[in-house]
Amino acid sequence: MVLQAWIEVACILVATAVAASAVAPWLAAVFRVDADGGAANRCESWLEQLERPVLRLAGAWPVQEMTAGTYAAAILVFHAVGFGLLLAVLRLQPLLPWNPDQLPAVPWLIAINTAASFTTNTNWQSYGGETTLAPISQSLGLTVQNFVSAASGLCVLAVLVRGLVRRDSGTVGNFWRDLVRCTLGLLLPLAILLGLVLASQGVVQTFGTHLEVTPLDPSIAPDGTEPPPQRIVIGPVASQVAIKQLGTNGGGYFNANGAHPFENPTPLTNLLEIVAMLVIPMASCLAFGRWVGDRRQGRALLAAMSVLFLPFLLLIVRCETQPNPQLAATVPAVDQSPSRDHEGGSMEGKEVRFGPASSALFAVATTATSCGAVNAMHDSFSPLGGLVAMWMIQLGEVVFGGVGTGLAGLLAYTLVAVFVAGLMVGRSPEFLGKKIEAREMKMGMVVLLVPPIATLLGTAAACMMPSESAAAPNPGPHGFSELLYAFSSAANNNGSAFGGLTATSGFWTLALATAMLASRLLTMLPLVAIGGSLAAKRTVAESAGTLPTHTPLFVLLVAGAVILVGALSFVPALALGPLAESLQPVASAAGGGP
């Protein structure tokens, strides 16, 4: 059964690589990255027909190129308007149509947290979807943000690529055109395709809102009456699941997210949802090689991501396919060996229809890609399994990472690696013919340091307030891990959680919202500034002393920079949480323990 688990994981990764290879040319054709653009290709002509009426309606036609400052201002305006509109939808929910259960307005603090979460592509949820939000709020509010927040991440990547491709240019593209093209030309068609496939496999997609179901085994009350029918919530689920996976958003229609049978009913839908999380981040690397005219560069960046991803994947699958030692010590009668009914291993907190291997792969994929969707309870993972999920987030969500922002973040690490390599050999650092100077390094360090600072400051503040640290009911290292995971998730654009944490107080809702907004904007805007700075430079001719940026050595250098920043930032905190928990002795069968 362990061999079967590894085969299952390998097949999913191969399917993802094939899908990414197919999407990469499509993604490369969506954005025009050079200054003059040349002759429009067939894809661009088709995209122009789609974008023209939308941009005219928005008053952004004819399209004018923007400077980096104007582009950044447009991003700020877009996020502010998106935040305000979503907040209005959540607060005005009882006055809107398609609210059959007459759900009340979302409380102010939860509404602010949710608006910040979905406009920043984080999708942290401090509420139960089916009990808090009406179908109108799920569709008009959350699903729309799932599309446009993901598209804004790809816009930032487009600016950074233009900075590397253009020469002596004062402009970096047009935000509104990039946003519309990415949404209508890439995300919407992929989401429609995936949504139809998911619906064919049993994921619910309907304008209906609930089902009245008679229990299969109704029990008769002492007075002879039968229980009332069970009320089951349904709605437009497949359309939201498709874009939450493809856009690395992660927010579920139901509280159980990807573990709910209406969101993820079968092993096939589980496979498709894992592939959907990884496909655009992988395809972005391959498209990068096409954009810069050297496909080796894209393959090198994909290799750097894979070097970081695969060892963690091997560790978490190994940990979760082993029996739970705590359960074996306290309840030895529980059979954790493989059988015809389940795969064996540590099944606590996992769905039987997926098993530990697929659950572990889903967990590392969702934390590596900044998606945050879950099909198992991360709080129930082994200490080292939980550490893998947490550290994948803490590395900056650049190991595949979010749509657009993942590769853009890795490019920031790449600039750091090039700068360090240049200092080591006494040469001016260059990347793809552009000199990396003080301005780019300052902006790059802001990108790399803001999320760790927000994570550690938020965790420290929670630990200093007993009333707020009590939101994590588990004692000792595991409780600390729940606090650390929450701020890691919010500050690094993920949205998943150790489910034991109750993050509904004023401190938690506002602190996490602040971490989400600060980290998202203070990483996107410096990346735009880097793109503008690079676009204004001339290309330097390659010489014998130029560091090749497509070799295995450079792949290891970039991966080492990512590990170094992650280790220096978070290893002390991880030592207090999952590492300390993994070293605790196993509780005895008589109930004794640490």
Instruction: Give DSSP secondary structure letters for 29-71.
Output: HH---SSS--S--HHHHHHHHHHHHHHHHTT--S-----HHHH
Backbone dihedral region for residue 204 (phi beyond 0: left; psi -120 to 50: alpha; all else: beta): beta
d(CA 300, CA 557): 11
Answer whether residue 134 is part of any domain.
no
What percent of the chain stands above pLDDT 70?
Answer: 94
Residue 212: CB atoms within 10 Å: 9
Residue 136 lies in a domain: no
Mean pLDDT, the chain, rounded, equals 90
What range does the domain containing 525 cover? Answer: 407-582
pLDDT value at 25 more than 90:
yes
Look at residues 264, 67, 263 and name the one whose alpha carbon lies nearest to residue 162: 67
Q: How far is CA 111 from the centre of its chain?
A: 21
More reliable by pLDDT, 39 or 321? 321
Helix (H, G, I), strand (E, B) or coil at 334: coil
Within 10 angstroms of residue 202's Cβ, the number of other Cβ atoms is 14
**Quick one: how far is CA 404 from the chain centroid?**
11
Task: Please report the pLDDT score of residue 472 as a whole number.
Answer: 92
Q: For residue 143, is pLDDT > 90?
A: yes
Q: What is the pLDDT of residues 275-311, one digit of tens each?
A: 999 999 999 999 999 999 999 999 999 999 999 999 9
Q: Is 497 part of a structural domain of the chain?
A: yes
The pLDDT assigned to 36 comes to 57
Name 426's Cβ contacts closer than 8 Å, sequence gap at least 6: none
d(CA 470, CA 462): 9
Position 222 scores a pLDDT of 66
What is the mean pLDDT of the segment spanning 85-109? 95
- Would you state the pLDDT for residue 182? 94
590 lies in some domain: no
List C-alpha distances in Å: 186 to 19, 47, 119, 147, 154.
14, 10, 19, 10, 11
For residue 96, being part of any structural domain is answered with: no
The helix/strand/coil state of 430 is: strand
Once rounded to an integer, what is the mean pLDDT over residues 75-102?
96
Task: Read off the pLDDT of each residue in 144-165 and give the average, rounded to a whole number.
Answer: 96
Average pLDDT for 116-129:
95
Q: Average of pLDDT values for 65-94?
A: 97
Structure tokens at 395: 């590395």
Confidence at residue 590, expressed as pLDDT on a 0 to 100 scale: 39
DSSP 403: T
Q: Is residue 137 a part of any domain in this protein?
A: no
Residue 570 lies in a domain: yes
Is the pLDDT at 32 greater than 70, yes or no? yes
591: pLDDT strictly greater than 70: no
Q: Which residue has the tokens 């939308």?
A: 54
CB 571 within 8 A of CB 435: no
Question: How would residue 41 be classed by pLDDT, with cut points 50, 70 and 90?
Answer: low
Q: How many domains does the chain contain in total?
A: 1
pTM of the model: 0.94
243 sits in which H/E element: helix 237-246
pLDDT tens digits along 433-481: 999 999 999 999 999 999 999 999 999 999 999 999 999 988 899 999 9
Place of tokens 């993604």: 27
Q: What is the mean pLDDT of residues 152-181?
A: 95
For 337-346, write each residue's pLDDT tens digit. 777 766 778 8
* 368 or 324, greater pLDDT: 368
Has residue 335 been placed in a domain? no
